Structure 1
Amino acid sequence: MTPANAPLRPPARTSNPHALRPRTGAARLSVGFILAKRFTLCAFANFVDVLRLAADEGDRSRPILCNWTVLSETMDPVTSSCGISVQPKERLGDPSRFDYIVVIGGLMDEMPGLSAGYVKFLHQAAEAGVPLVGVCTGAFMLHQAGLLDGYRCCVSWFHHVDFLEQFEGLTPVADQIFVVDGDRLTCSGGASSAHLAAYLVDKHVGRAAASKSLHIMIIDDQLQADKPQPGITMDFKTRDPIVLRTLLLMQQNIDTPLSVTEIARRMGHSKRQLERHFRTALDTSPQAAFLSIRLSLAHHLIETSDKSIAQIALDCGFCDSSHLSRMFQRRFGVTPRALRKSDTPDD
């Protein structure tokens, strides 16, 4: 008997035959889209264009090898965050007619929950073995619907803190462009949605079709899931994926700096390995890089925000304003207060 206080375990992951089932005399890849109100047009367009270009010869756009449909409960047009509206093509119906159901999320501050009809449809899809895909804040919406419990999910580094605040107990992945965890696929949005779509095309249609789509879209190469997100890495220029992912992890923990030992543990490497990568790629140590990121953010906040120096110190992981001032002057040759005073226009 399992003790009452035993930790919950994620559901076992098995290969999903529905996701890779062969098709005869029909499209090899069929995708149904659900668009949130104020959805991000870029993420949707990138995903669809990869399917479109893989579906036919050249860029003729006929839905032969792939097909795609915007679904709706009401058939009302859905307006994107940039104001452009998309007219759905079909009502929800039977989700098993698709290989994947993709939820395209919208603006974080204006993100309503999915209606009961959409939630029911997504649960029917999950019960039928249809894999669910959350793009951009679509991962938030799948979790709100109770469909990401026990799964790893990818969110943009930009929304990492928002996700932690709203969905306690779920650990998002914000240092990869997309995550495939069994029958749940999630990506950070933007250009990464093209790479997730290319991953699906590669699986169902073939690598040549996936590469063709990306090349026509002027995207050089198909990126794998564990490619680091191109977040704000300040002044550091490197292609080392371990260093890039470490910098993003540092960026997500600026207010509560992690030790290098803890960072190495989370990255799955030893402290010595991490230090060697930083020395080779950036000619610096992880400690020095983390301090540089925190000081650069403090400099930015002093110039662009009305926050007090004491609050900026806390936000950037310093003990107090005196600690920040000492480190800041050593790096920039001026104190935070002097910099703020110099940026204040004369009356």
Structure 2
Amino acid sequence: MSSVSAPLHAGPSQPLRFGIVLLPNFTLTAFSGFVDLLRLASDDGDQSRPVRCSWTIVAESLVPIRASCGIQVAPWVTFDEAGAFDYVLVVGGLLHSGPSASEATLRFIRKAASTSATLVGICTGAFALARAGVMEGYRICVSWFHYWDFVERYPAIPEASLIADRLFVIDRRRITCSGGRASIDVAAAILLRHFDASIVQKAQRILIVDDAQRGSAPQPYPSGLDPTSHPKVRRAVLVMEQHIGQPLPLAELARRLDMSVRQLERLFSAQTGKSPNVYGRQMRVRMAAWMLTGSDKTVSDIAMSCGFSDASHLGREFRKEFNESPSAYRLTRSRSHEAGWQGV
């Protein structure tokens, strides 16, 4: 039985080797973006030959794997037949649809982790790495959209090690990425470790992609925030959203952004006209308003979910924002919704 072995130096006689594991319902964009950058950087003259890089799709069997969009991709070799890789890429996608990583897949990931190969989790591929038990002591990048899913599934992993306000994180022999277009940035970051920058830049230009985004770049801004806002403010708001049920103290928020509390307050005031605390409180009130019309939870439950001490606390803040109580807000919006349907 072949095994994943330590990486060799990538050179003219030895291409950089990538083993790609596609999980059920993987995201096609994340997969194709990564591979296309490898393809374009691998060879000159638009030949797409695997000269500088080689890539192999590996799986438990050769049965085609379905992407979340329905397109199927057939593996090239099985885990038992796989050779040595420098990087093992695990591409995930939908979390709540169909089976997750199989036991054979988890064994393959653990085998790779026991060597000098670098493991790369793209999109929810980071979930599979965590489930395989190979992320202890490493920082993990997850999409802000799946942050609480990760916390619920892997409570033993400290929340302090989760990064959901950046595009990707490189931590020694573990690389994790929020997914989507950021997979191209991860591919570029990896290739820049081994090849001249001009080779990577050429591939990016062919894909009509700007220069690679750094891992410290923020994930896409939350709704309601001006996209021109300072990156630190955008990252702060993302962190606030991730902790909406248990708001972080201002000092902790500033620490996560490598700023002083005073710097954060000044920047927030200049960018939003509000202090971080006021902005965060209004965000939690808006989330409560959405839950009042989009769920059957009680006002007390919604208050706790949105970081308020009790229903009375929520009620006081809610009236400041909407000039009515949470119960009246829910009743009014429910009637408007029913009237709208009756008029269809």
TM value normalised by structure 2: 0.87
Q: Which residue does 1:156 correspond to in 2?
A: 143
CA contact 1:238–1:281 (8 Å) conserved in 2:
no
Q: Secondary structure at the match of 2:88?
A: strand
Counterpart CA distance in 2 for 1:313 and 1:236 is 27
CA contact 1:95–1:124 (8 Å) conserved in 2:
no
Counterpart CA distance in 2 for 1:63 and 1:90 is 17
Counterpart CA distance in 2 for 1:124 and 1:25 is 26
Cα offsets for 1:85-120 (capped at 9, x unmatched): 101112225766322010112321246453343333
Q: Which residue does 2:163 correspond to in 1?
A: 173
Counterpart CA distance in 2 for 1:282 and 1:211 is 36
For residue 232 of structure 1, report the CA deviation from its aligned partner.
2.4
Unpaired runs of 5+ residues, structure 1, are 1-17
Q: Which residue does 2:218 correspond to in 1?
A: 228
CA contact 1:20–1:203 (8 Å) conserved in 2:
no
For residue 19 of structure 1, report the CA deviation from its aligned partner.
5.7
Counterpart CA distance in 1 for 2:42 and 2:226 is 39
Residue identity in the other structure for 1:134 = G
Q: Which residue does 1:23 correspond to in 2?
A: 11
CA contact 1:20–1:204 (8 Å) conserved in 2:
no
For residue 289 of structure 1, report the CA deviation from its aligned partner.
1.3
For residue 254 of structure 1, report the CA deviation from its aligned partner.
0.7
Cα offsets for 1:257-298 (capped at 9, x unmatched): 222123223333221111122123223211111112112222
> How do 1:308-323 and structure 2 match up within 5 A?
308-323=298-313
Counterpart CA distance in 2 for 1:53 and 1:70 is 18
Of the three residues 70, 74, 78, the one matched with 1:83 is 70
> How do 1:16-95 and structure 2 match up within 5 A?
21-27=9-15, 29-57=16-44, 59-93=46-80
Larger displacement relative to structure 2 (303-312 or 194-203): 303-312
Residue identity in the other structure for 2:56 = T
Larger displacement relative to structure 2 (109-118 or 299-308): 109-118
CA contact 2:222–2:234 (8 Å) conserved in 1:
no
CA contact 1:238–1:282 (8 Å) conserved in 2:
no
Counterpart CA distance in 2 for 1:37 and 1:112 is 7
**Superposed CA RMSD:** 2.3
> How do 1:186-335 and structure 2 match up within 5 A?
186-335=176-325
Q: Using a 3 Å threshold, how does the CA distance of structure 1 residues 95 and 242 change in structure 2: closer, same or farther?
A: farther
Counterpart CA distance in 2 for 1:61 and 1:187 is 25
Cα offsets for 1:11-60 (capped at 9, x unmatched): xxxxxxx6682312343x32110111121222111111221222234654
Residue identity in the other structure for 1:196 = V
Q: Secondary structure at the match of 2:56?
A: strand
Q: Secondary structure at the match of 1:179?
A: strand
Q: Using a 3 Å threshold, how does the CA distance of structure 1 residues 120 and 309 change in structure 2: closer, same or farther?
A: closer
Identity of aligned residues (%): 41
Cα offsets for 1:123-166 (capped at 9, x unmatched): 33223311111111111111211211111111111111111111
Q: Secondary structure at the match of 1:176?
A: coil
CA contact 2:118–2:173 (8 Å) conserved in 1:
yes
CA contact 2:10–2:52 (8 Å) conserved in 1:
no
CA contact 1:37–1:78 (8 Å) conserved in 2:
yes
Residue identity in the other structure for 2:102 = S
Q: Using a 3 Å threshold, how does the CA distance of structure 1 residues 94 and 180 change in structure 2: closer, same or farther?
A: farther
Q: Using a 3 Å threshold, how does the CA distance of structure 1 residues 141 and 68 change in structure 2: closer, same or farther?
A: same
Q: Secondary structure at the match of 2:245?
A: coil
Which runs of structure 1 show a deviation greater than 6 angstroms over 4 or more consecutive aligned residues?
none
Q: Using a 3 Å threshold, how does the CA distance of structure 1 residues 221 and 328 change in structure 2: closer, same or farther?
A: farther
CA contact 2:61–2:77 (8 Å) conserved in 1:
no
How many residues are treated as equivalent by the alignment?
329
